[in-house]
Amino acid sequence: MEENKNILKQWVLSAINNRSSKELKEIFETIPNIDIAEAVADVDDPKQLLYIFRVVGSEYSAEFFAELSSEQQEIVINAFSDKELMELISDSYADDIVDTIEEMPANIVTRVLKACPKDLRGDVNRLLNYKDNTAGSIMTTEYIEMKDSVTVKEAIETIRIKGKDAETVYTIFVRDNKRTLVGTVELSDLIFSKEDQVLSEIMDKDFVSCNVNDDQEDVAKKFKRYDLTAMAVVNSENKIVGIITIDDIVDIMEQEVSEDIAHMAAITDMEEPYLKTPILKLVLKCAPWIIALMILQIFSTMILSKFEGVIGQFAILAVFTPLIMDAGGNSGGQTTTMIVRSLSLDEFSGKDYGKVVLKELRVASIIGAIIAVFAFGWLMFEMSVGIVNTDSILHLVNKNGGNYNAYMALVASLVAGTLFVTMIISRLVGVSLPFLAKLVKLDPAVMCGPLTTTTVDIISLITYFLLWTQIIGPIMGIGI
Amino acid sequence: MEENKNILKQWVLSAINNRSSKELKEIFETIPNIDIAEAVADVDDPKQLLYIFRVVGSEYSAEFFAELSSEQQEIVINAFSDKELMELISDSYADDIVDTIEEMPANIVTRVLKACPKDLRGDVNRLLNYKDNTAGSIMTTEYIEMKDSVTVKEAIETIRIKGKDAETVYTIFVRDNKRTLVGTVELSDLIFSKEDQVLSEIMDKDFVSCNVNDDQEDVAKKFKRYDLTAMAVVNSENKIVGIITIDDIVDIMEQEVSEDIAHMAAITDMEEPYLKTPILKLVLKCAPWIIALMILQIFSTMILSKFEGVIGQFAILAVFTPLIMDAGGNSGGQTTTMIVRSLSLDEFSGKDYGKVVLKELRVASIIGAIIAVFAFGWLMFEMSVGIVNTDSILHLVNKNGGNYNAYMALVASLVAGTLFVTMIISRLVGVSLPFLAKLVKLDPAVMCGPLTTTTVDIISLITYFLLWTQIIGPIMGIGI
């Protein structure tokens, strides 16, 4: 794979440098555009880039242009004559043009808009005005729309004439006299039907559409649920204003997932490739969260601090606090991750909360019991073989008398009991916070992990020290 | 949305119960199959389910059947006559049949295979034999393949006749005399071309295909990279054996992402919806990881335990260990998440490791400095206002003399210095482990998070206590 890339790179560069138009054309005919764009990713000489566009046919140039980096696109536009720019643009789709100029300086935007034919310019301007992450901002305006009274023969004829400018000809959108969207016809349906049938007879009425203001994540979910390859975008009057195709949705699915993953790990976002992100931006993505989480820790610090005297008296208690806090954090993290994922896949809605909590109570009790039993055995082992320093216990036995092994078992029970409570609390909190976030219309992925950990830390530390000061400590003869 | 679902449910059930075939047909004509399937999700009466299949036309039944739960599918198959089963099956695609029978008892599998026409049975058997997660296991065998010498007119004629049985007619796969795949033709290209052109003139030669044994995740990446809607699956002799369509890829993308997310949070996997997963399965997904991580903590327990005496002497040290461990864990988690995501998106390969580490060194130093400065100020604040109990320091001043404020600053510096080291180590470890996992061909998502935390815990605790016992402690006159 890696080797193929390098070979292609050599081949493309040699074709450009030798000014071999035959070779270059052959490359474009046999290799996908994106691979060629990657091969010339380092080329920033306007002459070399221009050579490519002058040699390859218009059937490749617009798509190839869309695959270049925005720096390269800028170089090409600056080097193009007005006529060349107009040709390129008239071969491009409105949504690709919008993607291009969104990252360009103002003078280039003006030049590109000037080069657009009037219709296209209107479309581009409209697309530029839709809010980010809405259906409107990702749709394109090159689609085929026909009246429901058109015959199959006429429809195919129209596709032959107008189809080349459309982003897809596989779904034709059908409207009635009032310009309301009433159905869709697949190109295959046209092929399978008789020439004199009209569209209203063969169209699918159970089509799915979305509103221009719908969130792009919801649009992606519809594509997935209904196995669509293209979907109509309508305005509030149910008139079609654009379409979205599956290739854009695939990108959006990935973008939304990256966002969710980033939020769960407390990173601001990951919309840019790591190697291209400036150092300071990486710092700003990560450092504020670490600070915020450190501030949130004030509560567990307060609790630990309140029991500092207890720790000074019986230092072995301090050895087990990280173990308890980590186990609670891990368990809460598992639960939150599962619930956030299920919520984002719409596996359940807010009203399933009761059902989920009841289920979690049972799951958590079993996990709590397993972990408590394991922890008791594990700690007894750690203390017996000397992995854990038991000087505190020895000291106590020497001072007050009492059975060393029984005291060891009491300490292990203290940790085991705390872990039992911690497992149950961590899963209940891990379930509840994402639901709460959804209820108040926040993204459940944001901060739920860290907030769960903080809440669980507080409750488990209090449990630990209360169990000690109220029950286990007094049994062992340590008055507080 | 939720309300619409309930209304639809009432409507469908009333149509079934009133035996209103007209109403039921209308529902199927205007509502997508998956919505209807969801509305009848609770129906397990064979009579009611059979009624649906007897009323609705064959254009809906196969697709609707594929959307039912496997319990319902089993009920329907059991209730069907052999003739009805054969009709349903001959309307189904081979990959849907495979999905259905993979979860069925043996007697049903036998009955379904018997009901398959001979060709289809061969396809189904072959699909059942491909390894899970390979291209072969997700492909379907209903595609349109033509020789490169066929004319456009003949091609359209063939599509008219054979197209209804194919999963897609939008991509036609073109082979030469030796049955080798040599190109693809889009249905739109046929529409735009002259009737007497032959396929070899108009086909795309820069098509992308995959091997039957390719991993499904790699196939999904190709779909995304090349904006495909259908892809040929070839055997080792470059002969086409099946195709994969974009709707299956969308499901796979989601499945792979769920796997990655689950692994990062140390859950075994999340292939089933939460509410449908049995309680014991949920326990088994989570509990073993908690235990494994607890065992991994043996190292930090050992370190804390080794310094138990130090803690007994100066208990305030115990208050800050969770803060340091959490900050290290959070920072390592951020880094691992970013790197795992970038690796899974193929943003860089193994040989970029040096570049990434150099970048991280710079990022980590800046973050370390910011966090150290912040932590110093924050701890001074916490100690000054009494959030942190400073009895240990007071006690020391009373015993040995010395400046209380200077001692507080020394303790804050101890934590700040440890955090500076922790930030750098956590990011370097967080970067290195995923690369290491990739080098030894493990999934970088698995365990990298927890392993990073454990490693960082060890190093930061050692740093903390060494800084104390070797530098800060002696300055404050505490001999160890």
Give the pLDDT score at A260. 80
Please give the Cα distance from B242 to B232 (Å, whole number). Answer: 6
The total number of structural domains in chain B stands at: 3
Taking residues A20-40, what's their average pLDDT?
A: 88
Q: Are residues B7 and B102 in the same domain?
A: yes
Q: Does a structural domain hold residue A272?
A: no
Give the pLDDT score at B231. 95
Q: Does a structural domain hold residue B93?
A: yes
* Strands of the sheet with B209-211, listed across from one edge: B209-211, B230-234, B240-245
Question: What rounded mean pLDDT belongs to chain B?
Answer: 88
Alpha helical stretches, state H, A385-403? 391-400
| Predicted confidence (pLDDT) at residue B480 exceeds the cutoff of 60 | no
Give the pLDDT score at B201. 92
Mutate to test the interface with A, among B226, B274, B427 (most CBs of A within 10 A): B274
Q: Are residues A458 and A349 in the same domain?
A: yes
Among B417, B414, B418, CA closest to B383 = B414
Lowest model confidence (mean pLDDT) among A255-259, B9-13, B427-431: A255-259
Please give the Cα distance from A454 to A332 (Å, whole number). Answer: 10
> What percent of chain B lies above the pLDDT cut of 90?
34
Give the pLDDT score at A165. 82
At which of B249, B283, B306 does a domain end? B249
- Structural domain containing residue A360: 297-475
3-state helix, strand, coil in chain B (%, to 5): 70, 5, 25
Q: Does a structural domain hold residue B268?
A: no
| Predicted confidence (pLDDT) at residue B409 exceeds the cutoff of 90 | yes
With a CB cutoff of 8 Å and minimum separation 6, the contacts of A310 are A317, A465, A468, A469, A473, A480
Give the pLDDT score at B100. 83
Taking residues A45-49, what's their average pLDDT?
A: 90
| Predicted confidence (pLDDT) at residue A480 exceeds the cutoff of 60 | no
Q: Are residues B395 and B462 in the same domain?
A: yes
* Strands of the sheet with A181-186, listed across from one edge: A145-147, A171-175, A181-186
Taking residues A130-151, what's their average pLDDT?
A: 89
Q: Does a structural domain hold residue B276?
A: no
| Predicted confidence (pLDDT) at residue B103 exceeds the cutoff of 90 | no
At which of A76, A104, A129 does a domain end? A129
Lowest model confidence (mean pLDDT) among A290-299, A433-442, B115-124, B134-143: B115-124
DSSP state letters, B232-278:
EEE-TTS-EEEEEEHHHHHHHHHHHHHHHHHHHTT-S---S-GGGS-
Q: Does a structural domain hold residue B458?
A: yes
Q: Are residues A235 and A318 in the same domain?
A: no
Structure-model confidence comparison of residues B370 and B94, the more confident one: B370
Q: Which of residues 70-99 of A touch B (CB under 8 A)?
A: none
Q: Are residues A174 and A249 in the same domain?
A: yes
Give the pLDDT score at A447. 65
Sign of the Cα pseudo-torsion (B185, B187, B188, B191, in order): positive
| Predicted confidence (pLDDT) at residue A351 exceeds the cutoff of 90 | no
Q: For the CA atoms of A137, B221, B431, A38, what is the dihedral angle to 10 degrees?
A: -80
Closest CB to A304: pick one of B160, B290, B322. Answer: B322
C-alpha atoms less than 13 angstroms from C-alpha of A130 in its C-beta half-sphere: 27
CATH label of the domain that carries residue A241: 3.10.580.10
Contacting residues of B for A221, CB less than 8 Å apart: none
CATH label of the domain that carries residue B26: 1.25.60.10
Taking residues A99-127, what's their average pLDDT?
A: 82
| Predicted confidence (pLDDT) at residue A414 exceeds the cutoff of 90 | yes
Q: Does a structural domain hold residue B122?
A: yes
Contacting residues of B for A382, CB less than 8 Å apart: 298, 301
Are A169 and B188 within 8 A, CB to CB?
yes
Q: Are residues A439 and A466 in the same domain?
A: yes
Best-predicted range by mean pLDDT (A65-74, B247-256, B356-365): B356-365
Q: Does a structural domain hold residue A445?
A: yes
A313 to chain B: nearest residue by CA?
Answer: B312
Taking residues A376-402, what's their average pLDDT?
A: 91
Q: Which of residues 429-468 of B touch A (CB under 8 A)?
A: 450, 453, 457
Q: Are residues B224 and B81 in the same domain?
A: no
Taking residues B374-398, what's their average pLDDT?
A: 92
Q: Are residues B238 and B309 in the same domain?
A: no
pTM beyond 0.80: no
Give the pLDDT score at B447. 65
At which of B102, B129, B156 does a domain end? B129
Q: Are residues A324 and A463 in the same domain?
A: yes
Lowest model confidence (mean pLDDT) among A260-269, A376-385, B331-340, B451-460: A260-269
Give the pLDDT score at A438. 86
Q: What is the ipTM of this complex?
A: 0.74
> What phi and psi, each to the nearest 5 degrees, are found at residue A209?
-135, 175
> What phi and psi, each to the nearest 5 degrees, are found at residue A180?
-85, 140
| Predicted confidence (pLDDT) at residue A232 exceeds the cutoff of 90 | yes
Taking residues A321-339, what's their average pLDDT?
A: 89
| Predicted confidence (pLDDT) at residue B369 exceeds the cutoff of 80 | yes
B362-395 burial code (b ≥16 CB/10 A, e <16): ebbbbbbbbbbebbbebbbebbeeebbbbebbee
Mutate to test the interface with A, among B8, B24, B35, B290 (most CBs of A within 10 A): B290
CATH label of the domain that carries residue B369: 1.10.357.20
- Residue A479: pLDDT band (50, 70, 90) is low
Residue-wise pLDDT for B216-243, tens only, equals 989 998 998 888 999 999 988 888 989 9
Q: Which of residues 354-383 of A touch B (CB under 8 A)?
A: 355-356, 359, 362-363, 366-367, 370-371, 374-375, 378, 382
A32-37, long-range: CB < 8 A, 24+ apart: A32/B206, A32/B208, A32/B226, A33/A60, A33/A63, A33/A64, A33/A67, A34/A67, A34/B225, A34/B226, A35/A5, A35/A8, A36/A8, A36/A12, A36/A64, A36/A67, A37/A64, A37/A67, A37/A68
| Predicted confidence (pLDDT) at residue A1 exceeds the cutoff of 60 | no
Structure-model confidence comparison of residues B417 and A20, the more confident one: B417
With a CB cutoff of 8 Å and minimum separation 6, the contacts of B129 are none
| Predicted confidence (pLDDT) at residue B477 exceeds the cutoff of 90 | no
Question: What rounded mean pLDDT belongs to chain A?
Answer: 88
* Strands of the sheet with B145-147, listed across from one edge: B145-147, B171-175, B181-186
Structure tokens at A203: 């169209």
Q: Are residues B326 and B419 in the same domain?
A: yes
Q: Are residues A54 and A98 in the same domain?
A: yes
Give the pLDDT score at B251. 85
| Predicted confidence (pLDDT) at residue B173 exceeds the cutoff of 80 | yes
| Predicted confidence (pLDDT) at residue B2 exceeds the cutoff of 70 | no
Give the pLDDT score at A3. 65
Q: Are residues B218 and B341 in the same domain?
A: no
Residue A128's DSSP bridge partners are none
| Predicted confidence (pLDDT) at residue B1 exceeds the cutoff of 60 | no
| Predicted confidence (pLDDT) at residue A460 exceeds the cutoff of 90 | yes
Residue-wise pLDDT for A69-102, tens only, equals 888 999 999 888 888 888 888 888 888 888 888 7
Closest CB to A305: pick one of B335, B342, B388. Answer: B388
Q: Does a structural domain hold residue A96?
A: yes
